A and B are shown apart, each in its own frame.
Chain A
Amino acid sequence: MQNSPALSPTFAEPHDADALVQVSGIGKRYRPDGPPVFSGVSFDIRPGEFVCLIGHSGCGKSSILNILSGLEQPSEGGVIMDGREITGPGLDRGVVFQGHALLPWLTALQNVTFAVRARHRHMPRHEIREKAEHYLAMVGLEAAMHKKPAELSGGMRQRVGIARAFCTQPRVLLMDEPFGALDALTRGMIQEELLKICAQTQQTVFMITHDVDEAIFLADRVLLMSNGPDARLAEDAYNPLPRSRTRETMHHEDGFYTFRNHLVDFLVRRSALAQKAATG
């Protein structure tokens, strides 16, 4: 471990025994002669936990998520999930992509059915369809399930994307700025639905965002990245707000502003300082 003393001491601790995902010292270098985008990133994700990763653009947030999903390989370090190293993409990790990434020639239902069939290869046709309809209903899309992505609004498309990721019942749900392209109203609604569904299904989630309020509302834990290049994981902050928080009343909770100011301060000032400390 080559973390600088300025960083939170939690990284020195050994991995949690009951962690679902153990990320150990991963780094990514796109050019062998240049500096790494990020390095020495270690953290755990425990079952049922909702973890948000925040950082400025260019700090390698998406690369970290891609390494967890197996779409990219780390240049150093590794990720262990359920005691096995992640070497490639798999159905045990569901991904909600930044762009919705729906297949545009299929309807919403067919997009979800495609994923259900990939997960349950030998399930009878009508059961696959029922399952797909169930997950579309879960995100409130019963009425629009026969529409193609081009006929859906941005929020509805992202809902289909969420239904598609949930329907494979992954151990971990990985979300890459899923609401970045949505307007504030739609974003708030989908965030609430997502939180409800995650609570019902005890879903473990790892999500990337650059929206502090989104992170406070959704996450049990917020991971903060310092600025790139050679970004580090600077802080691992537990959300002090109770899990029963709602979007409307969240700002009345004790500690909301302290936590929010802490995160904003980090993004505005300390993310650059942490970088300076890390790179010497």
Chain B
Amino acid sequence: MLSQENRLSFFLSFASLLGVLLIWQFSTLPQASRSPYGIPDGNAEYQRLMGRSAVASTVRSDFPTPGAFARNAIEVLHAPFHNNGPNDRGIGWQLGASLLRVMIGYGLATLVAVPLGFVFGLQPVIQKALNPFVQILRPISPLAWMPIALYTIRDAELCAIFVIFICSLWPILLNTAFGVASIRREWLNVIRTLEVRWPQRLFFVLLPAAAPTILTGMRIGLGVAWLAIVAAEMLVGSSGIGYFVWNQWNNLSLSNVILAVLLIGLAGMALDAALAFVQRSVRYAE
């Protein structure tokens, strides 16, 4: 049984979706063709000169209508994993390629940032010493690294992974350091008075105590990684959803571009929801 509030919010979100679709529909309706030179509408000679049939009096926008988009989307999603060479691969294949890159780059970033964050959090001296570098490196756009990465790594695939790695590293590192540094002092006193050994301290107290904050950093990092991968793939090319967007733009297939944009959003949402689920499972009430 839905509550009153839930029903209302469901209705409102459905209505706003409908509103957007209606605006889309109306703004892509065929429009009366107008000549900028004062030639009367429906002039057959003008229409022929413009490459249209002589009787046409309207022009269709290049932007697809919702209906045209839906038909195209069904067709494209019908065989998402077809593969006819680098210029004609299914959208699922492209999305998968992007996800794989993100998983590798982000996974490496997590493996580096979480232990380093623990060192930062437990050793304020090291945090103080390295913090200036972190603060300088952190605001650099991941794409600014691209030329340096391309020159030094000389492999487009590894470059994309490096860009993901470098942009998701900082939020995870800083949140882990913050989470570990702000573990309640009394919990640390408990493990000291119980003479708990270091591995147990780490895995049974420090890690669970800092886990919610670490997961916050991991969620931010994954969001940044998913933002960066699309841009990176537009540059390095050959595969991935970013490459797909750029390729379809060059094909002037706006339907495919819109579909890809929607899928990017959905995939990003799914990734965040997965981490949010993990975060809920490690959250604790004090």
Contacts and interface: CB of A to CB of B under 8 A. Distances in A.
Contacts of B284: 104-105, 148, 150
Contacts of A114: 194, 196, 204
Interface in A26-53: none
A101 interface: yes
Interface residues of A, number: 24
A89 B193 contact: yes
Interface stretch (A76-84, A91-99, A200-208): A91-99
Interface in B191-236: 192-196, 200, 204-205, 208-209
A90 interface: yes
A105 B193 contact: no
Contacts of A134: none
Nearest to B190: A101
B88 interface: no
Given A89-B195, A114-B204, A104 B186 contact: no
A168 B204 CA distance: 18
A75 to B, nearest CB: 20
B187 A93 contact: no
Nearest to B189: A71
A150 B195 CA distance: 25
B194 A91 contact: yes
Interface residues of B, number: 19
Contacts of A104: 284-286
A101 B285 contact: no
16 contacts: A71-B189, A71-B193, A89-B193, A90-B193, A91-B194, A93-B193, A94-B193, A95-B193, A101-B184, A101-B190, A103-B209, A104-B286, A105-B208, A115-B194, A150-B285, A168-B194
A179 B282 CA distance: 30
Nearest to B194: A118
A251 interface: no
Contacts of B204: 114
B186 A118 contact: no
A99 B184 CA distance: 11
Contacts of B200: 118
A95 B190 CA distance: 8
A101 B189 contact: yes
Contacts of B282: 105
A118 B195 contact: yes
Given A114-B204, A148-B285, A150-B286, A103 B187 contact: yes
Contacts of B196: 114, 118
Which of A70, A88, A95 has the most chain B CB atoms inside 10 A of its CB?
A: A95
A91 B282 CA distance: 29
B195 to A, nearest CB: 5
